[in-house]
Amino acid sequence: MIHYKGDIIVLSSPNIGPGSFKATNIPLLLEQWLRNAENGRWLLILDNADNGDVFFDADHTSKSTINATATASTKGRSLSSYLPQCSHGSILITSRKKEIAEKLTGDHKSIIKVQPMNEEHATELLQKKAGHQPDVENVARLVEVLEYMPLAITQAGAYIRQRAPRTSVSKYLKDFEKSDRHKLSILNRDEGKDLRRDREASNSVIITWQISFEAIRSERQSAADLLSLMSFLDHQGIPESLVRPRDNNLSHDDGSEGECNGANMTATAIRHVPAAAPTACLSRALRMT
């Protein structure tokens, strides 16, 4: 929110200057502007809403966004309470945590689960980012080894476009498949910056995974330990029996199931594969972090 304080102040109250940040309740200003139908229709996007404390902890909100000059009625409010429900506005939320999405929307029916990219969409994205590539076979192979991850494909496409004709899809693919060391180097590049993204957000696939892993570790150590264990195995065909607790009577606090609080975020790293015996596979990128 710190990047947009000035915009919110100017938007909601022209008489308050940018120098008045410290004396201004930013969330309250935004709420008042959004509730005012005279301001027209609006769309508010909450991207990466993964930290429940930010939205539901009143103390966290007071410390980070509301100055001591706020009134008593606003000091005890969580950030989520400032999100208005009105007919002239809409809120779009992206989150990796189902429980946070349900709390913010108030209705599980309002949640749309975003499925992984399929080959067609991944190929289309690479062609768009890299420029038209006639080498259809290698294009399909590259998006496959990149596991259809949009960030990795965008990064690869930007790298190929910027270095064409010296770099092609086939050369990028060859370099990527040389060794894990080359994969790590390539996935750690910070290419293809999108001006629509937060300017502080990294385009490095590895750094993005590291941030996610640290979030998992801080929230539930057992989930991070499970991922660490799986990283020593082959990334495909991991029998679920190897990573499930032997004692089926374990309490919720002791369990390491995907339903556990911190383990929700591992869904992007672990995919369950239909087979005679249940197996899972781990993202190559996370395995190398």
Summarised one tens digit per residue, pLDDT across range 148-159 is 988 889 988 988
**Calpha distance 263→221 (Å, rounded):** 9
* Neighbour count for residue 149 (Cβ, 10 Å): 22
287 vs 4: which has the higher pLDDT: 287
83 vs 245: which has the higher pLDDT: 83
Closest of 90, 92, 84 to residue 35, by C-alpha? 84
**Calpha distance 279→273 (Å, rounded):** 6
* Neighbour count for residue 130 (Cβ, 10 Å): 25
What confidence tens digit (pLDDT) does each residue in 51-91 have? 888 888 866 555 555 454 455 555 668 889 999 999 999 99
Per-residue pLDDT at 278: 66
What confidence tens digit (pLDDT) does each residue in 25-52 have? 778 888 988 999 998 999 999 988 888 8
**Calpha distance 151→85 (Å, rounded):** 32
What confidence tens digit (pLDDT) does each residue in 200-233 have? 555 567 666 676 777 778 878 888 888 887 777 7
73 to 17, 30, 70: CA distances (angstroms): 24, 16, 8
Element holding 45 (H helix, E strand): strand 42-46
Of 98-112, 117-131, 211-225, the one with minimum mean pLDDT is 211-225
